């Protein structure tokens, strides 16, 4: 499992349907955006671990400016967006190879389970994109703080 995590002051994701209409899917203010990709070997334990890690990761400043507060501590939001391209292999050729990513069906189930685990960690504060859809993600990176998490 790979997660690109960004601390944001605000973020949103819109879904673009087949005819080009745009619909808002998720919106948060202060919080974190998690772009999430899954390998074929993911386990429920890995999903649980990652959801807890994100909820408790101390990346927000305290009163002294030190990164010492978590999403939980400051009651902030989490926007979770599926991103199979995190498993792109670009070492050979000019076209990315995605064979390291979970299959569509498996990844869809993993994404659903991961979003449920995040919601259990942060009740009422999790927004999501739409799995498998064409999306537009907008965010204002705060800091900037961008972290790579892998399990």
Residues recognised as catalytic: 83-85
Instruction: Give the 3-state DSSP-derived string for 121-146, with helices as H, strands as E and coil as C.
Output: HCCCCEEECCCCCEEEEEEEEEEEEE
Strands 60-61 and 2-16, by their bridges, are unpaired
Residue 60: CB atoms within 10 Å? 21
Q: Which two tokens stand for residue 145?
A: 């703080």
b/e 31-42 (16+ beta carbons within 10 angstroms → b): bbbbbbbbbeeb
Based on its alpha-carbon atoms, the radius of gyration of the chain, rounded to whole angstroms, reads 15
Other Cβ atoms less than 10 A from the Cβ of 53: the count is 15
Q: Across the strands, what pairs with 76?
A: none
């Amino acid at each position: 499992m790979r997660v690109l995590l960004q601390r944001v002051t605000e973020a949103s994701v819109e879904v673009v349907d087949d005819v080009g209409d745009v619909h808002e899917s998720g919106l948060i203010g202060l919080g974190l955006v998690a772009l999430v990709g899954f390998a074929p070997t993911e386990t429920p334990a890995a999903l649980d671990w990652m959801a807890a890690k994100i909820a408790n990761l101390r990346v927000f400043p305290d009163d002294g400016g030190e990164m010492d507060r978590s999403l939980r501590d400051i009651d902030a939001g989490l926007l979770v967006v599926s991103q199979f391209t995190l498993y792109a292999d670009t070492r050979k050729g000019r076209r990315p190879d995605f064979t390291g990513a979970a299959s569509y069906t498996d990844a869809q189930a993993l994404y659903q389970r991961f979003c449920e685990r995040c919601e259990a960690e942060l009740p009422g504060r999790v927004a999501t994109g739409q799995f498998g859809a064409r999306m537009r993600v907008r965010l204002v990176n705060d800091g900037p703080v961008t972290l790579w998490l892998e399990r």
